[in-house]
Amino acid sequence: MLLIPAIDIIGGRCVRLTKGDYATEKVYSHDPVMVAREMEMLGFKRLHVVDLDGARSKHVVNLDVLRRITAETQLVVDFGGGVKSDDDLAAVLEAGAHMVTVGSIAVTDPERVLSWLKTYGAEHIVLGADVREGRISINGWKEESSISLRPFLDSYMQQGIRHVLCTDISCDGMLAGPSTPLYREIMTAHPDCQLIASGGVSSIDDIRALAAAGIPAVVFGKAIYEGKIDLPSLIAEFPQETPLNYKH
């Protein structure tokens, strides 16, 4: 199983929120690059970077942090938050991200996302599906759309999307366990989906349960920063490898 630690950034700091509420911000480190280096030293190969400032302001903000992470580590980075334009996407890739997670824009401007998919290829675009009570949320989870998860995924998978990052907002930051039945349902409908489960992971047992359910990958953050998971033991149980086409 692919294990992906998350670094969420506000004001250049590594933070975590609860259920996406910016009022719950908790700072875990003033140096996200140091955190990224620590993740690499432990044996992780992937990293999920979220520009929370970007998600809130609707344009990418923390490019400097991304540049430093990609310059100072060999981690395969996927970056999300505030990617709304061609320039945003190009800047993120130029800053060293291997993959870009697109969420809100996939709801508001699907034609643009499909053009990116055609231009950059399915290996570099991750569809962000942030779900609250079955519907997609956008713009830093502050706005609810009228779009339900299933048709949203069906449409994009038919158009060639393969990587999907699905977050159950009700679980995010709660350390109460992930929405394994939801992720299992997605995999049943789309067996070829490279699904990344996100939200609620609180223990190695949670990760084992996701692996047993056939979920290919998991993103987790708060459980790391709150010391809920022994990371060396986790890496020993789930050794990580960098895909050949992503090696620097």
pLDDT in tens, 137-147: 876 556 676 78
Active site residue: 78, 130, 168, 206, which one?
130
Q: What is the pLDDT along the chain (248 residues), one digit of tens a residue?
A: 999 999 999 999 999 888 778 889 899 999 999 999 999 999 999 999 999 999 888 899 999 999 999 999 999 999 999 999 999 999 999 999 999 999 889 999 999 999 999 999 999 999 999 888 788 887 655 667 678 999 999 999 999 999 999 998 877 656 668 999 999 999 999 999 999 999 889 999 999 999 999 999 999 999 999 999 999 999 999 999 876 565 44
Active site residue: 8, 53, 88, 172, which one?
8
* Model pLDDT, residue 63: 96
- pLDDT of 169-188, one tens digit each? 877 656 668 999 999 999 99
Q: Is residue 161 part of a domain?
A: yes
Both structure tokens of 122: 């399915």
- The CATH number given to whatever domain includes residue 219 is 3.20.20.70
Q: Is residue 200 part of a domain?
A: yes
Q: Is residue 248 part of a domain?
A: no
Q: Is residue 247 part of a domain?
A: no
Q: Is 8 a catalytic residue?
A: yes
- 142 vs 57: CA distance, rounded Å: 11
The count of structural domains within the chain is 1
Which residues span the domain enclosing 72?
2-241
Burial of 174 (0-12, 13-18, 19+ CB in 10 A): middle
Q: Is residue 129 part of a domain?
A: yes
3-state secondary structure the chain: CEEEEEEEEECCEEEEEECCEEEEEEEEECCHHHHHHHHHHHCCCEEEEEEHHHHHHCCCCCHHHHHHHHHHCCCEEEEECCCCCHHHHHHHHHCCCCEEEECHHHHHCHHHHHHHHHHHCHHHEEEEEEEECCEEEECCCCEEEEEEHHHHHHHHHHCCCCEEEEEECCCCCCCCCCCHHHHHHHHHHCCCCEEEEECCCCCHHHHHHHHHCCCCEEEECHHHHCCCCCHHHHHHHCCCCCCHHHCC
Q: Is residue 230 part of a domain?
A: yes
